[in-house]
A = this chain, B = another copy of it.
Amino acid sequence: MARRGGASGPARICSPEAAAAELKTARSRGIEFVALGEPDYPPRLQMTDDPPPLLAARGQVSILTRPLVAVVGSRNASAAGVKFAERLARELGKAGFGIVSGLARGIDAAAHRASLGSGTIAVLAGGHDRIYPPEHADLLETILAEDAAVSEMPLTWEPRARDFPRRNRLISGLSLGVVIVEAARRSGSLITARLAGEQGREVFAVPGSPLDPRAEGTNGLLKQGATLVTEAADVIAVLEPILGRGLDLPAQEPAREAPGPIETEPGEDQRSRIIALMGPTPTAIDDLVRLSQTSPAIVRTVLLELEIAGRLERHGGGLVSLL
């Protein structure tokens, strides 16, 4: 889990043994891994250009496959912004949407709190053992008791500045749409809005007075064509028709696993079959599963091993190649 397509810098190469040890540690801490191509993998995220190969999820993992809306905004939120974020998240929760946000101070925390129990997902910029901001460790525990948190980073990954925009693509990628509640002129929420647009997601913005600096970003988004939101109905009116059209996912092989415990430890012959199918030409993970006659879980584990060993390159659209 050390080297990703999006991350720069030298690859941290570790042995398959070290990778297996990290997986074991993580599982002992209640973390489940959901791999690209698996039925539990968030379907909208899978449709993006750079879905993480593996999501580390804690809590109610099933929330990840529900219809999701992101509610994000400034850390330095106004009381009105916090109040509105709470109202919106509560009403969207009642309407059946899970709420995705970034566990930040201000709007994010308000959105999480108001959707506790109805379905809230905290998307972390660091690993599950490096909560940011630290003062939200308690909030995260509350979220995990009823809902879920996900990360694409190793367990002890300390979030750096550049990990936040990277994380923001997950917030928008998981969601049908992103609601920006308050945002100053240059702010992380606007990055999330831009990523959402690039991912073909709906962008919603809450208006504010032109004299309020915390509304500069959202008013700017509205000028660029974001949908204006003053109540949950504005969001639902746009998203319901999209849900009605279905998720429009690429055709997927039916899962081959029998009911019961899922075998994820690849045998040596499975491992070599999968690697033999791969080369410098990008190949669909779905094809690897089909052609190797193994399971998505086995393929995922082998790809993870390759990735940790620095031998895998991830491309957009669920394509991989050997380095």
Contacts and interface: CB of A to CB of B under 8 A. Distances in A.
Interface of A: 80, 83-84, 206-212, 215-216, 219, 222-223, 228-231, 234
Nearest to A205: B207
A162 to B, nearest CB: 31
Given A84-B209, A211-B84, A223 B234 contact: yes
Nearest to A206: B210
A207 B222 contact: yes
A210 B223 contact: no
The quantity of this chain's copies bound in the complex is: 2
A208 B206 contact: no
Given A207-B210, A210-B229, 4 more contacts: A207-B209, A207-B215, A207-B219, A209-B209
Contacts of A230: 210, 216, 219, 223
Nearest to A79: B211
A228 B234 contact: no
Contact of A222 (B80, B83, B212, B222): B222
Nearest to A182: B209
21 contacts: A80-B211, A83-B211, A206-B210, A207-B207, A207-B208, A207-B209, A207-B210, A207-B219, A207-B222, A207-B228, A208-B209, A209-B209, A210-B229, A210-B230, A210-B231, A216-B230, A219-B228, A219-B230, A222-B222, A223-B230, A223-B234
A87 to B, nearest CB: 9
A206 B228 CA distance: 13
